[in-house]
Amino acid sequence: MSFTPEQIKSGVLPYNYSKFKMKIDELQGVSACYRDRNGAIYHTYSSYARGIDLMNTTYNFLDLTAKGRDENPDSTQDWVRYHDEYKRRSNERSANDD
Amino acid sequence: MTNHKTGTREEWLKARLDLLKAEKELTRRSDELARRRQELPWVRIDKEYPFETKEGKASLADLFRGRSQLLVYHFMFGPDYTAGCPHCSAIADGFNGDAVHLANHDVMLWAVSRAPLAKLQAYKKRMGWSFPWASSLGSEFNYDFNVSFTEEQQRSGNVYYNYSKIGAPAGPHVELAASVGTDWPAYIRETPGMSAFALEDGVVYHTYSAYARGLDGLWGMYQWLDRAPRGRNETGFWIRRHDEYDRGASKDCCA
């Protein structure tokens, strides 16, 4: 979801059914809609923040490991890169076969 | 008009906030479960499990590829199958993108199946996947981790799955078996699961395994369906391999 210039300027942003002091232009979320036979559209559901953890299946895999998410609590996901930006470490072989 | 209950934005928000409270409780409980998984005792693995991989023969320790943690998805692809299980394939469509992130966070994710390596590689190419996939054919790996069963086990009903004796699984699902080119008994000699391992000081430990609905969280598609207006909305065998859906019906979705 996105915030207006006025909201960003105020420094208090509506998110996850609450308000937060933060400086950011965009944040992640999920919305669901339904379209009936006559073409009428209904909004049914929206979720934000940790409400979409379960769609991040990488986390669902990590939650089954011995070390868990193993993240810096003050900066979660600081280890995540775009998939083509991970540097291959010299002592490790590729994650992929190809 | 829809026959479903409708409401004003205010009514919706009130109901949504109630649900949000329950969702947050689930998130906290899920965090707690993940913490408890990490507290499980580790079981040292001394048995040799030979695998065939693209790089040749490999041991369980080799599959870690320099990481300290290994996740194995027990992909249903028996020696007699002509193609991988369509449900496992749908799960793999999702985790194919996760593997590189996990590999850069000290976790190697592999698929392991009993079909010979050439079959696995041909199918992987067809599906366009890049995660590593090993054959455990000739190894006791699948049997020891309770994801494959012998004909003798099937005859005697001595089949343990998901930590309980299941005897004969529900079925037969002829259509599902036909989708992998086998009959039902051959299809169900393989079952889905995942196992986690740790490597420390050259010793491999088994830390965790999950089966059946214990794998739901790994199936990203279901997490999305659970938030759709009609939920999973399942009435039968609807999942196909991603290249087998009717082209006319899917041409406008996912170019």
- Reported ipTM: the value is 0.92
Contact residues, B window 141-180, toward A, CB-based 8 Å cutoff: none
pLDDT band of residue A90 (cuts 50, 70, 90) is very low
- Of A11-20, B8-17, B47-56, least confident by mean pLDDT is A11-20
Closest C-alpha among A67, A90, A96 to residue A79:
A67
Of B6, B27, B71, the CB nearest to A64: B71
Of B68, B132, B198, the CB nearest to A96: B132
pLDDT band of residue A97 (cuts 50, 70, 90) is low
- Predicted model pTM: 0.93
Closest C-alpha among B144, B196, B160, B191 to residue B37:
B196
Contacts of A51 in chain B (CB under 8 A): 20, 23, 27
Rg (CA), chain B: 20
CA distances in angstroms from B47 to B14, B60, B152, B155, B201, listed in the order given: 57, 9, 23, 27, 17
Nearest-CA distance B129 → chain A (Å): 9
Q: What is the pLDDT of residue A91?
A: 47
What span, in angstroms and rounded, lies between the C-alpha atoms of A95 and A89? 11
pLDDT in tens, B91-141: 999 999 999 999 999 999 999 999 999 999 999 999 999 999 999 999 999
Nearest-CA distance A10 → chain B (Å): 24
pLDDT band of residue B171 (cuts 50, 70, 90) is confident
Contact B223 A57 (CB under 8 A): yes
pLDDT in tens, B218-227: 999 999 999 9
| Residues in Cβ contact with A70 at an 8 Å cutoff, skipping those fewer than 6 apart | A62, B105, B106
**CA B244 to chain centroid:** 20
pLDDT in tens, B5-24: 999 999 999 999 999 999 99
Contact A57 B133 (CB under 8 A): no
Contacts of B210 in chain A (CB under 8 A): 64
**DSSP-derived 3-state class of residue A53:** helix
For A78-90, what is the mean pLDDT? 85
Contact A86 B12 (CB under 8 A): no
- Average pLDDT taken over every residue of chain B: 95
Q: Which amino acid is at A20?
A: F
- Pick the residue of A19, A45, A54 with the most B CBs within 10 A to test the interface with B by mutation: A54
- Pick the residue of A57, A75, A77, A84 with the most B CBs within 10 A to test the interface with B by mutation: A57
**Cβ–Cβ contacts within 10 Å for residue B231, how many?**
10
CB-based burial label for A30 (10 Å; 0-12, 13-18, 19+)? middle
pLDDT band of residue B166 (cuts 50, 70, 90) is confident
